[in-house]
Structure 1
Amino acid sequence: MSSRQILIIGGSTRAAADSVRRAGWRPICADFFVDWDLQQTAQTIPVRRYPESLPDDLAHIRADGWMYCGALENEPQILARLLEENRNLGPLIGTHPETLAHVRNPSWISSVLRAAGLPCLDVASQSAPPPPDGCWLQKPLSSAGGRQIRVWDEVAERSPFVEPHYFQRRVSGSELSVLFRCDEGKPPAWLGATRALRWANPLPAPTPFSYCGSTGPVTDLPDHIVRSITEIVTTIVSQTSGLNGLVGFDFIEDPQQAWLLEINPRYTASVEVLELASGRSLLSPQPVSCQAVSGRVESGRDHGTNENHQRRIVAKQILYAVESISAPDLRHSFRSIDPWQIPIVTDIPQVPLTIDAGWPICTVFAEGSDPVAVKEMLRMRGEAVRSAIRA
């Protein structure tokens, strides 16, 4: 493994740390959870008050580069402090904090797409709310993972919403996340697509809009949907500077059109699904050439045989606590320190620990060539976690 050290900061850094190891680097991690399995595979940095204290907590760290993951895209002032004050971290691998003001602004995205004559969902501001007729979603401006999103109806109108927010018109369809590599001066490169999980879950998410997991790669996208997504992303990227590295674009796909929901300008939760399914590192130091055809990675760093990986479906599902619980001891489910081996359970909590209702417990994985079998494997592993909680 390379001696290159990469600092990762974010709410949960375990997935990004495994990706960094797949690229042949060594991860140093500072996050909110400090999960047990992360401590087995990466150097971890104590954080006193996440995320406010990050610049001070990292003042003594030396690295060869650094990156952030969710939901630090909502904290550009902290990222800017790290750039200005922490000179020993190396270059930022990702989007510059000044760019976040644009790509995280739904009104800016809407104006760019409309000016280009491209389809986009209507948005409304907090100061001019639309009718509470159930045709809109109320979303925090600093959302991540679907947190606090709700349908804007008469019930919501009578309930307080304390965060700054906006409204976005609802549209029916399949939730699709497409990962691109954005490099200054180059067209965005399609790396792959995943679908959001909305399967029945033995430990359900706190809200219908919470991120529950991903499955992929998606290989059956119609050509007109691929063209639509590519045109939307290319237009957005052309209108901003500083959008670099891995960037996730979330869409709703209906039979005629892909509708952009939001942009996640950082390492996303679906990266490891695509890496494990394809056997290729998406953070690899060598260039990755991709083709926007059916969401399939065409070249990059191989790990294993192409024939095996082209048939592989990988799914990950987050399990949430429906009530306050004592964290189950899942350390026996830790499979391997090999970052290329598809795990059974990850994001394993430390014990003893109390997990409040609505907070994640762990993540379960499944893989195979049959979507039905993969779904059943996820269900069984979720049930095993629930049994561990009862025990």
Structure 2
Amino acid sequence: MGLRLLYLIFCRLLGCFLLLGRSTAANNAEILALRHEVAVLRRQIKRPRLSWADRAVLSALARHLPPALRRRRRVTPGTLLTWHRRLVCWKWRQTAVGSGRPPLPEETVALIQRLARENPTWGYVRIQGELRRLGHRVAAATIRRVLRRSGLPPAPQRASQQTWRSFLRSQAHTLLAFDFMHVETVFLRRLYVFFVMEIKTRRVHVLGVTAHPTGAWVTQLARNLLMDLEERAGCFRFLIRDRDSKFTAVFDAVFAGNGTAVTPTPTQSPRSNAFAERWIRTARAECTDCLLITGERHLRTVLTAYAEHYNGGRAHRSLGLRAPDDDPNVIPLPAAGARRQQVLGGLLNEYHTMPPRLPHHPQERTSSAA
């Protein structure tokens, strides 16, 4: 702004020097033309906006005008007093402070949203108590306002909006997932594989293989599974299956007698049984799609060997890169060597650690020879 003022003063001084070389008649004619232009502009513009530098230049030039002309100018004594009052207000102005409490930090808001999403049954006061334990003092009304602004409903409504993914994660240790898998043989005959997966450990049991599955066959395999599980059968509280007609009422009654509730998946919703569907894709990509299956016996042998590999020799992302049968409390030591074990004729490979070889001492050899 200071440079603008200096530039305007320089331009006016240069204009004054140029006027000294002109005649009086030329100056009077230019003044009349400028007055008329100003009158035309005043009819079009009611209140022009002047900058601080424009006001300073007009104030300085207005002092040299005759009193009669000074009254007709926009820069009158009243205008100067108004400008002065504005300068005083600008000097002593203060930053406006909003009324009420200061806003919550973004970290606290994100923490409130996280607690509400991860705990659908927690109400405002429950979240308030958890925040206090973490060192944040926030009122329940503030938590309610934050959740409303984020589009999160109260606790009862959040709990009723539980998805299949959250249900499976929370109940994984008590879930069994049943499903069918079909395989085409080399003679274009379709075979059906009935299997079950323990969701928590990802352990798979291949129950049977047949070309004509029926409700009685499926029910008998369910009874065989409960006998094989023995005491562990009582740990499972929920069973997930689709709405296939082969899952009859007798099949559900077998698990109901064991205290296991049967949960059918929604119609045409394969993601509701995502763990079983994922195993089907893995088994096909790693096993059945790489072999030519000749019949039921061949497929049963192949899938039994693959299930043993899947449970005992294959790393899983969801299990921390461990196999389902690995002990999670055992930390393996660095192996001195690795031994390869081929599965299904070399289609799959398993690697096991080898104990370090003991050094041979020449003195022992000499004494033994003697």
Same-fold call, TM cutoff 0.5:
no
Point out which structure has higher relative CO (alpha carbons under 8 A, 6+ apart).
1
TM bracket, shorter-chain basis: under 0.3
Structure with the higher strand share, 1 or 2: 1
Structure with the higher helix share, 1 or 2: 2
TM-score by length of 2: 0.23
Q: Could you say which structure has the larger radius of gyration?
A: 2
